Amino acid sequence: MTDASALVAGPPQTAEIPPPVSRWRVLARRLWRHRSFRIGGGIVLVIVLLALAAPLLTDGSPNQMALRNRFAPPSAEHWFGADNFGRDIFTRVLYGARISLWIGFASALIAAVGGALVGMVSAWFRRLDALMMRIMDALLAFPAILLAIGINAALGPQVSSVIIALGSAYIPRMARIVRASALVIRELDYVDAARVSGAGSGRIIFRHILPNVMAPLLVSVTFVFAYAILAEAALSFLGIGPPPPHPSWGNIIAEGRDYSVEAWWIMLFPGLAISLAALGTNLLGDGLRDVLDPKLKIEQ
Amino acid sequence: MPRLIALRILQAIPVMLVVAILTFMLMHLLPGDPATIIAGDAATPEAVDQIRRDLGLDRPMITQLWLWLTNFIQGDFGRSIMLNQPVAEAVLERLPVTFSLAFVAFCITIPIGIVLGVIAAVWRDTWIDSGVMVLALVGVSVPNFWIAILSVILFSVTLGWLPSAGYVPLSQDAGRWFLSLVQPATVLALFQIGYLARMTRSAMLEVLDQDYIRTARAKGVSPGTTILKHAFRNTLMQVVTVSGYILSLLIGGSVVIEQIFAMPGIGRLLVQAIMARDYPVVQGTMLLLGFAFVFINIVIDLIYAWVDPRVRYD
């Protein structure tokens, strides 16, 4: 058995017992060994750094118009070209990264915390389940983007309304996924064992159920982060995101749409930026899932 | 099972009520006074007051809610301001467009997504797995409205193979109906295909690690049967959950796609109504879409209980 697992595991482990290392060190090492995590983490890190360094890398004015540069194609001076107002697309894309990443992060956090709480509580307290799931169903009845459009329209076109709208739009979806896992887990023997040994509901939910719904939760959070970036872009594209001239990625694409055949660079580069950001986030989440998922740990 | 169906339908009634109240509340948070906007810039204060009275906007919120609820129970969803037409009529006219789009996209998504996910899981850690997963990743990472614009440039402007905009009703010409939907539905499905493939793969991998799969293999069950009967059947619960979610994403996504392909669907109506502050249309559309989703959720719940008896419904 040990021989077989050593073969599967790849590099053979040293014979002597290693000194005890912290759980986080072990996790960090496993993460580092994971290819998707490295690639995804690298992409996200580069985008975050570029977003932070935007004032240093550009002249710091994403809305600076220069009519003599109208529709300037990509060149050494304008890497990504210029739009119909002569604004530099590279500068606008870098500043757009700040808006998009923040919206993605904040909405994913709201969705994860809210969804995990609702999902676990309704799986555990069976009497609450019907009521909570009916409320979730009512919220779920609205497709996420429609709910976001509605809330956003009500709160006014601001970055914060996009965050609240997208975050709340995903709570019921996360809750359903967490609940589905938690429903199976609550029937398992170790939960009975914990209950028999006198553990309270809070302890069972957070110590026994939460760690075991973490894997699906993380996979879903990944999607929410990436999808929030995509949804923000879609909202901007529809004209209900952060208001122009905010250089959000969706806004740049919307502005470049009319010139998509002649001045393709206006919409091409922000689209690539959205795709890269979402791709990096998804890869990162894949790595996290593989490492943190207890069932896959046995295999590795 | 019949008892469960009846129970679910009964439980749906309060959900619909919550949907209705949420829709009403959401729309009354919208900034701007609809009466002023409808009347236009040149209107006298008296004219604005008249419109406000006609729409019942001068009454207390709770009275408006009650009126609205009792009206829609009688099938009256109000009258569109911008279209000067009953809301129910306006929505029903556009329903086939959105449903056709979502239906074709769903039919593209489900088989392709599941097959890709199962293939990737079975040939785990090989180049096949990597290839499929890279494709799936690109699918869930690329904004569909952006791909839609690029796709129009390639297939409609440059090659001229597919129409770049518009919708042909099924009753008019089935061939052209399909042709008008191919491009938008495929673009719409890309995200969902990637999503479903990834979820199916991770669900399959979990199951393939189980002892009973090894037992099945050891006792000589053929690989095909092991995968389909022993492994895939046990991932169905997760796949069903995800499919319901996918349907909601498809209808939500059609809002954006309808806009790009100029398709006269519900999404386009909704965005136009929000822009024009046409309250009755926004409320009516959200409400009808909400009801459609309550129905879909009932079906998903029932399939769920049928697929996995371990989930107790009490």
Chain B residues lying within 8 Å of A234, measured CB to CB: 143-145, 256
Chain A residues lying within 8 Å of B309, measured CB to CB: none
CB B235 within 8 A of CB B203: yes
Q: Residue A74, SS3?
A: coil
Chain A residues lying within 8 Å of B30, measured CB to CB: 153-154
Output the pLDDT for position B216.
Answer: 81
Does B312 score more than 60 pLDDT? no
Output the pLDDT for position B48.
Answer: 77
Output the pLDDT for position A19.
Answer: 66
Location of structure tokens 């398992």: A188
Rank A74-88, A234-248, B139-153, B275-289 by mean pLDDT and report only the highest: B139-153
A136: closest CA among B21, B297, B13?
A: B297
Whole-complex ipTM = 0.75
Say which of B15, B16, B310 has its CB closest to residue A184: B310
Say which of A137, A184, A299 has its CB closest to residue B297: A137
Our CA dihedral for A27, A30, A31, A34, rounded to 10 degrees, sits at -160
Query: Residue B252: closest CA among chain A residues belongs to which residue?
Result: A143
CB A86 within 8 A of CB A69: yes
CB A108 within 8 A of CB A195: no
Does B299 score more than 50 pLDDT? yes
Tell me the backbone φ, ψ of residue A83, rounded to 5 degrees: -95, -165
Q: Which residue has the higher pLDDT, A189 or B275?
A: A189
- Mean pLDDT, to the nearest integer, of B146-165? 82
Which string of b and e fits A165-188 if b means at least 16 CB within 10 Å?
Answer: bbbbbbbbbbbbbbbbbbbebbee
Question: What residues have CB less than 8 Å from B210, skipping those under 6 apart?
Answer: B234
Residue B262 — left, alpha, or beta (φ > 0 → left; ψ -120 to 50 → alpha)? left
B173 min Cα distance to partner chain A (Å): 30
CB B281 within 8 A of CB B216: no
CA A192 from chain center: how many Å?
Answer: 34
CA B173 from chain center: how many Å?
Answer: 25
Query: Residue B203: closest CA among chain A residues belongs to which residue?
Result: A216
| Contact flag B31-A156 (C-beta cutoff 8 Å) | yes
Q: Any CB–CB contact under 8 A between B255 and chain A? A: yes
- Mean pLDDT, to the nearest integer, of B39-58? 73
From residue B139, give the alpha-carbon distance in Å to each of A200, A248, A251, B189.
44, 22, 22, 9
Output the pLDDT for position B106.
Answer: 93
Output the pLDDT for position A18.
Answer: 63
Range from B90-94, B99-103, B128-132, B271-275 carrying the lowest mean pLDDT: B271-275
> Whole-angstrom distance between the N-terminal and C-terminal Cα of chain A?
14
| Cis peptide bond N-terminal to A245, omega within 30 | yes
CB A158 within 8 A of CB A232: no
**Dihedral sign computed on CA atoms, order B119, B123, B124, B130:** negative
B204 min Cα distance to partner chain A (Å): 12
A103: closest CA among A49, A56, A140, A158?
A: A158
pLDDT tens profile B208-229: 878 887 888 888 777 777 777 7
Q: From CA A73, how far away is CA A261, in angstroms rounded?
A: 13
Q: Residue A158, SS3?
A: coil
- Per the structure block, which two tokens stand in for B120? 């990737």
- Chain A contacts in chain B segment 19-48 (CB below 8 A): 19, 22, 26-27, 29-31
**Of B23, B27, B124, B141, which to mutate for an interface test with A (greatest number of A Cβ within 10 Å)?**
B141
Output the pLDDT for position B29.
Answer: 64
Complete DSSP assignment for A103-121: HHHHHHHHHHHHHHHHHHH
| Contact flag A295-B274 (C-beta cutoff 8 Å) | no
Output the pLDDT for position A111.
Answer: 92
Write down the domain spans for chain A: 26-59+68-299
CATH architecture, domain A26-59+68-299: Orthogonal Bundle (1.10)
A133: closest CA among A89, A177, A194, A82?
A: A177
Does B117 score more than 50 pLDDT? yes
- Residue A23 burial class via C-beta count within 10 angstroms: exposed 0-12, middle 13-18, buried 19 and up: exposed
Q: Residue A36, SS3?
A: helix
Say which of A138, A143, A173 has its CB closest to residue B19: A138
Which string of b and e fits A237-275 if b means at least 16 CB within 10 Å?
Answer: bbbbbbeeebbbbbbbbbbbeeebeebbbbbbbbbebbb
| Contact flag A154-B31 (C-beta cutoff 8 Å) | yes
Does B206 score more than 50 pLDDT? yes
Q: How sure is the predictor about B25, in pLDDT bands with cuts at 50, 70 and 90?
A: confident
Q: From CA A73, how far away is CA B260, in angstroms rounded?
A: 25
Chain A residues lying within 8 Å of B14, measured CB to CB: 134
A25 min Cα distance to partner chain B (Å): 25
B270: closest CA among B261, B260, B280?
A: B280
| Contact flag A153-B286 (C-beta cutoff 8 Å) | no
- Per the structure block, which two tokens stand in for B18? 């919550």
- Per the structure block, which two tokens stand in for A250? 């969706």
Our CA dihedral for B34, B37, B40, B46, rounded to 10 degrees, sits at 40
- Residue A59 burial class via C-beta count within 10 angstroms: exposed 0-12, middle 13-18, buried 19 and up: exposed
Output the pLDDT for position A7.
Answer: 46
A220 min Cα distance to partner chain B (Å): 10
Query: Residue B23: closest CA among chain A residues belongs to which residue?
Result: A150
Q: From CA B201, how far away is CA B132, in angstroms rounded?
A: 10
From residue B251, give the alpha-carbon distance in Å to each of A104, B30, B165.
22, 23, 18
| Contact flag A142-B290 (C-beta cutoff 8 Å) | yes
Alpha helices in chain A (DSSP H): 2-9, 23-33, 35-52, 54-57, 89-124, 126-140, 144-155, 159-185, 189-196, 201-203, 210-238, 249-256, 265-292, 294-299
pLDDT tens digits for chain A (300 residues)? Answer: 444 444 444 455 555 666 667 777 887 788 788 888 889 889 989 998 988 887 777 776 777 776 776 766 777 676 677 777 667 777 788 888 888 888 888 999 999 999 999 999 988 888 888 888 877 877 776 777 778 877 776 676 778 888 888 898 888 888 888 888 888 888 888 888 888 888 888 888 888 888 888 777 877 787 788 888 888 888 888 877 777 777 888 888 888 788 777 777 878 888 899 999 988 988 888 787 777 654 432 222
Rounded to 10 deg, the angle between the B87-122 and B233-260 helix axes is 130
Average pLDDT over all residues of chain B: 81
Query: Residue B28: closest CA among chain A residues belongs to which residue?
Result: A154
Question: What residues have CB less than 8 Å from B160, skipping those under 6 apart?
Answer: none
Q: Please, which residues bridge with residue A82 across strands?
A: A88
Domains of chain B (ranges; CATH) run 2-73 (no CATH), 95-307 (1.10.3720.10)
| DSSP state at residue A259 | G
- pTM above 0.80? no
Output the pLDDT for position B108.
Answer: 92
Residue B78 — left, alpha, or beta (φ > 0 → left; ψ -120 to 50 → alpha)? left
Q: Residue A88, SS3?
A: strand
A56 min Cα distance to partner chain B (Å): 28
| Contact flag B146-A138 (C-beta cutoff 8 Å) | no
CB B204 within 8 A of CB B235: yes
- Mean pLDDT, to the nearest integer, of B14-25? 81
| Residue percentage of chain B with pLDDT more than 90 | 6
Chain B residues lying within 8 Å of A127, measured CB to CB: none
Range from A55-64, B189-198, B300-309 carrying the lowest mean pLDDT: A55-64
| Residue percentage of chain B with pLDDT more than 70 | 92
| Contact flag A238-B259 (C-beta cutoff 8 Å) | yes
Q: How sure is the predictor about B107, in pLDDT bands with cuts at 50, 70 and 90?
A: very high
A227 min Cα distance to partner chain B (Å): 8
| Contact flag A150-B26 (C-beta cutoff 8 Å) | yes
Chain A residues lying within 8 Å of B19, measured CB to CB: 138, 141
**Of A37, A44, A129, A146, which to mutate for an interface test with B (greatest number of B Cβ within 10 Å)?**
A146
